[in-house]
Amino acid sequence: MDYSQFGTMLPELIVLGIFLVVFFMDTFGGEGVKKILTPCTAILFLLATVAIWLAPSASEGIFGGMYVNDTACKAMKCILNIGVFLVLLQSFKWADSEEMSVRKGEYYELLFATLFGMYLMISARHFLLFIIGLESASLPIAAMIAFDKYRYESHEAGIKYILTAVFSSAVLMMGLSFVYAFSMGSLYFSDLALAVAQGEMSGLLAIALAFVMAGIGFKLSLVPFHLWTADVYQGAPTPVTSYLSVISKGSAAFAFFIIFTQCFGQVYSDAWEWMLYALIILTITVGNLFALRQKNMKRFMAFSSVSQAGYIMLGVIAANALGLASLMFYIIVYVVSNLGAFAVIQTIEDNTGKLNMDDYNGLHKTNPWLSVAMTLAMFSLAGIPPFAGFFSKILIFTSVCSTNSMALYMLVLIALINTVISLYYYLCVVKAMWISNEEPIIGEFKSTCVAKIGLGLCIIGIVFFGLVSPIYEWLVNSVELSMWQPLALLGL
């Protein structure tokens, strides 16, 4: 065996390295080492991100084509890393708190284990490797969700997550077994693509498609596979919720795009375009309708993220290079906007323990900067120009429109109408903070320096990602440079 092939897996190895460093520091380090564990992890991870970004990408697959780390995959990993870094900054105060003192090492270990799994999900070109990635990305998350072990909701959320995850894995496996049958005994994406191209559309393939879609749709919380979302988001510790809402979702979206264009590209217009079409409409609409009535901020963000997942899927349904680029751009913007919102929620929860939207009434009188940050995040999520969310929405809509299909125009129209609904509930938060005349419930407090840095980075992202074009161009380039061309496979 040629061990030099491992050189291509540099991102995974780096994450594994950090995992080991944290593990050893946590297990064998003394009190002093444990004290600096939190900042050390953040700094190490920042360096790792830079290293991954600088590391060369390889257009050729390794291990017989099971694993690919080309420019597009690298870009996806970098996007995830940005999000993870922001989450790390957010969890500073929580991780350094009294009750976490003995367990914070575990938190980081679990987190990096899931990140490792997500990397594999993105890079896998073989369903076996993909399943390994998926499972190592979802099982540790259940432990993270139940991390507040003395809090009842945290338990409940953990159980709910693990049960649903197991069930969804089972469904996915079943789908894959059909896939295995369909491709005459191979789990390589490329073999499957060939088999799909030569074979005919059959009930077997339809069920396989539906089950695979449901399996990945679970992680993305697409309706009707989303029901765990609200309970879990509410119960989990806030840093874990933000991790779940952006990183886990982002990696699943990338994997979704890769699998469906790579393997099933040939039956795009026959089958899965319409399945996804239905799912997107359901997801955006139902997510919005539920979000309208939420009063708990974390539940509210849960349903907002459900409806955002629908918008993310628009990039998949475009199924071309532009679609992938705009999907990636959407996620990077979603990362900063959503994490900005969560950072505010987290800071307020850390300092006052308040989580209801009504508690935010008149927030601008006591905490103007937090209110500004929250407002920007809400504007960006709702897609109000000139913030990044507007540009990511318009780019993803243009990518869908670039397919020139009447049905997809209609889809964009439905998405646009839903944007109006979403505007209502996003602005409810803004209204509570700025317009409500009631006396503020949350008193004045000073947030920590790290929280300020994290929030500041999010705001910079929200304001500048849309206005600074090189980011989008970088994504377009990395998509175009990568060797697997969804366009060629689709024959579009």
Partner 1 sequence: MDITLPILILAIPIAMFLILGIGGVVMPRKVAGILGILGMGTCAVLAYTVAFTYFFSGAPEFISELGQRLQYQVFDVTWLAFTQSLVVKIGFLLDPISAMMLVVITTISFFVHLYSWGYMEHEPGFQRYYAFLNLFSFSMLGLVVATNIFQMYIFWELVGVSSYLLIGFFYKLPSAVSASKKAFIVTRFADLGFLIGILVLSYYTDTFNFQALTSNPELVMAECGGATFLGASVMTWAMVLIFMGGMGKSAMMPLHIWLPDAMEGPTPVSALIHAATMVVAGVYLVARMFPCYCQVPASMDFVGVVGAITAFYAAVVACCQVDIKRVLAFSTISQIAFMMVSLAVARDYVPVGEHWHAPGLGYMASMFHLFTHAMFKALLFLGAGCLIHAVHSNNYTAMGGLRKYMPITHWTFLIGCLAIAGIPPFSGFFSKDEMLAAMYQNSFFWGAWMSMVAGLTAFYMFRLYYLIFWWEENPHYEHHKPHDAPWQMSLPLIILALVSCVAGFIPFGEFVTYNGEPYHIHLEASVAITSVIIAVAAIALATWLYMKKNDRPAKMRAALPTLWEAAHRRFYWDEIYQFITHKIIFGIICQSIAWFDRHVIDATMDGFAKVTQKASFSIRGMQNGHIQAYVAWYFFGAIALAAFVWWCIL
Interface residue list for partner 1 (CB under 8 A): 159-160, 163-164, 167-168, 171, 201, 203, 206-207, 209-211, 213-214, 218, 223-225, 227-228, 230-231, 270-272, 274-275, 278-279, 286, 289-290, 292-293, 391, 394-395, 398, 402, 421, 469, 472-473, 476
Least spacing, CB of residue 301 vs partner 1, in Å: 15
Q: DSSP of 203-254, one letter per residue? A: HHHHHHHHHHHHHHHHHHT-TTS-THHHHHHHHS-HHHHHIIIIIIHHHHHH
- The rounded Cα 246 to chain-centroid distance in angstroms is 3
What torsion do the CA atoms of 460, 465, 468, 469 make, to the nearest 10 degrees?
A: 170
DSSP 491: T
Distance CA 307, CA 309 (A): 5
Q: Which is nearer to partner 1, 160 or 249 (CB)?
A: 160
- For the bound state, the minimum distance from the C-beta of residue 385 to partner 1, rounded and expressed in Å, comes to 11
Q: How far is the CB of 234 from partner 1 (least distance, A)?
A: 11
Rounded distance between C-alpha atoms, residue 401 and residue 199, angstroms: 30
Helix (H), strand (E) at residue 62:
strand 58-62
* CB of 373 closer than 8 Å to CB of 346: no
Report the residue number, 266 or 347, with the smaller CB distance to partner 1: 266
Q: Nearer Cβ to partner 1, position 202 or 352?
A: 202
Rounded least distance, CB 3 to partner 1, Å? 41
Angle ∠(158,335,50) on CA atoms, nearest 5: 105
Closest approach of partner 1 to the CB of residue 171, in Å: 6
Distance in Å, CB of 297 to partner 1, minimum: 17
Task: Return the number of the residue (6 or 277) whose C-beta is nearest partner 1.
Answer: 277
- What lies within 8 Å, CB to CB, of 432 at 6+ separation is 357, 358, 360, 361, 363
CA-CA distance, 110 to 104, in Å (whole number)? 10
Q: Kindly give the residue spans of alpha helices, DSSP state H, lying in 435-448.
A: none
Distance CA 435, CA 209 (A): 48
Q: Which is nearer to partner 1, 278 or 410 (CB)?
A: 278
Show the tokens assigned to 75: 């870009």
- Closer to partner 1 by Cβ: residue 231 or 350: 231
Shortest Cβ 423–partner 1 spacing (Å): 12
Q: Tokens in use for 475? A: 């994504």
- Of 189 and 218, the one with the shorter C-beta distance to partner 1 is 218
Minimum distance, C-beta of residue 112 to partner 1, in the bound complex (Å): 29
The residue among 172 and 339 lying less far from partner 1, judged by its C-beta, is 172
What does the block give as tokens for 227? 């029901």
SS3 content of the chain, % helix, strand, coil (to 5): 80, 5, 20
How many residues does the structure list for the chain?
492
Region of 444 (left: φ > 0; alpha: ψ -120 to 50; beta: rest) is beta
Q: Which is nearer to partner 1, 22 or 214 (CB)?
A: 214
Phi, psi of 16 (to 5 degrees): -60, -40
Task: Report in angstroms how near the CB of residue 327 gets to partner 1 at its nearest.
Answer: 16
